[in-house]
Structure 1
Amino acid sequence: MSRPVSSPSGPQGGQSPFRFPQRYERIAERLAADIRAGRLTPGERLPSERQLARRLEVGRASVREALAALALRGVLETRPGSGSFVVADALERLAPGTEPVAASDAGPFDLLEARLLLEPGVAALAARRGRRDAEAERLLDAMDVAADDRDRSGWNEGDRRFHRRLAALTSNPVLLGLAEEVATLMDQPLWQRLRDDSILRPERARLHAAEHRMIYEAVVDGDAAAASFYAAQHLERVRRYMTTDQES
């Protein structure tokens, strides 16, 4: 008689026991081990992202993800212009039983890589449909206000919904489904943390808002090449800002 086969997601539908930690999770655990062992002490400033990347022989993007993950856990405090510091009660926050919920298999920079492949094509197809959209224009106006008010939460919500709206303008249900998945990943705390850090300077959010308008106007004009170009340019800037060192 054949034996029942467990679902890949585990018997309770949770995280697969065979999931391999992502690189940033391994880096975060190495830093946590240094704190537990006393090699990094409460109040101590960590080496810069560039120094950590060299020491650990990894990319700075992975280091940034790791630091953000530890900050979300309350183990580190990131101070713009100064760096990352071990908090006073870091050992308590690293005690057994305080482990974070398992992360998605998609890290923030995996998501950006996928968006760079997907969204320029989405913008081009939306441009081939070439029409104005009241909801997209409302979201653009809301992002302008949020950028001026330094409302990062409101800006991020508008950003997520605007990119989903572009997919809706393609009238392609497959692309809309993919955009829904991207929007879900953009709701994850680690993405939100890195994105919030990337727009601490208000001029960055304003520039992103202007880029959104350029994409939209190219869509309305029916200029597929321009829409694709502006979408790719925008996402490259997002990646650059999310990997820019906040210590200087």
Structure 2
Amino acid sequence: MNFPPADKLSSALRAPQRYELVADRLKNLILDGTYPPGARLPAERFLASSLAVGRATVREAIAELVNQGIIETKRNSGSYVLQEAVDVIRSGNTPSSPDTSPHSTLEARLAVEPLIARFAAALGKRDAEMERLLDSMEAMSDLSDPDLRQKWNACDRQFHERIAQMTCNPVMIGIARVVASAVDEPLWRQLRDTGIHDPARARLYVYEHRLIYEAIATGNQEAAAFYVRQHLERVQKDMLTFG
């Protein structure tokens, strides 16, 4: 008897994430002509209500379809079905390994990163690498430049990973590496670039990073945890709620 490869078998047994189910439902609605090529999708709030899911799940599903070349999102206008959408869907050329739900990633980050910041603050030390990262982010003002945006995002990811390194705890460093991997996936990047797109918002993020770092460097555990949570809640709103 021939068995399928292990990776295909594990994929078949994996329960789909909610955003994948919504993305598949939207694909079917495109194929049956409910939303033909060129059509504007209903507002996220309407889709969330009609599909009985949260708005964050709808936003994740739409971002996934953008990454697959099925939908185009225009700022301050909405999401539109691309002309080639039906052919793309029928071709079946979609990623075999789905990205982690950004909503799930943010829930996990809100649970663990304030604690990691507490551990880092318990040591109460300044860190030259953290200060270099913050200086680099402050120096990047034109986020419309793709290269600068990529560098800014890399510094942002490294900043959060560096907090764990400052704990000197190998388990926390390992957790931070898992998170860093999740926030470098295409779905996270698509939602981040849609929600965090202007220089003013980037400056606010750097300011919040400064607050986090100073609390850690001065040994203020309560403040470090508070500022991390406040920052991540803002990221959650920017990526999954507003717009």
What is the correspondence of 1:62-141 to structure 2 with a 5 Å cutoff?
A: 62-104=57-99, 106-141=100-135
Distance 2:242 2:77 in 1: 10
Counterpart contact for 1:152–1:199, Cα < 8 Å: no
SS of match in other structure, 1:187? coil
Q: How big is each residue's C-alpha offset from its partner over 1:102-151, in whole Å with a ceiling of 9 and x where there is no partner? A: 214x31110000000111011111111111111111111111123x1213
Q: Are 1:52 and 2:47 counterparts?
A: yes
More helix by share: 2
Distance 1:236 1:36 in 2: 37
Q: How big is each residue's C-alpha offset from its partner over 1:23-70, in whole Å with a ceiling of 9 and x where there is no partner? A: 110100111001111111111110011111111111000000000000
Distance 2:11 2:217 in 1: 44
Counterpart contact for 2:195–2:238, Cα < 8 Å: yes
Corresponding residue of 2:206 = 209
Q: Are 1:38 and 2:57 counterparts?
A: no
Q: TM-score, normalised by structure 2?
A: 0.93
| Structure 1 unmatched runs, 5+ | 1-5
Q: How big is each residue's C-alpha offset from its partner over 1:215-246, in whole Å with a ceiling of 9 and x where there is no partner? A: 00001111010001000000011001112343
Corresponding residue of 1:152 = 149
Letter aligned with residue 73 of structure 2: T
| Structure 2 unmatched runs, 5+ | none
Q: TM-score, normalised by structure 1?
A: 0.91
Distance 2:8 2:164 in 1: 30
Distance 1:227 1:98 in 2: 44
Counterpart contact for 1:49–1:245, Cα < 8 Å: no
Residues 131 and 14 of structure 1, relative CA distance in 2, 3 Å threshold: farther
Q: Are 1:177 and 2:170 counterparts?
A: no
Select which of 130, 136, 140 maps to 1:142: 136
Corresponding residue of 1:189 = 186
Letter aligned with residue 139 of structure 1: L
The RMSD of aligned alpha carbons is 1.5
Distance 2:7 2:232 in 1: 37
Counterpart contact for 1:24–1:62, Cα < 8 Å: yes
Query: How many residue pairs align between the two structures?
Result: 236
Ranges of 4+ aligned residues in structure 1 off by more than 6 Å: none
Distance 1:44 1:141 in 2: 44
Counterpart contact for 2:70–2:81, Cα < 8 Å: yes
- Offset, 1:16: 3.2
Distance 1:185 1:22 in 2: 15
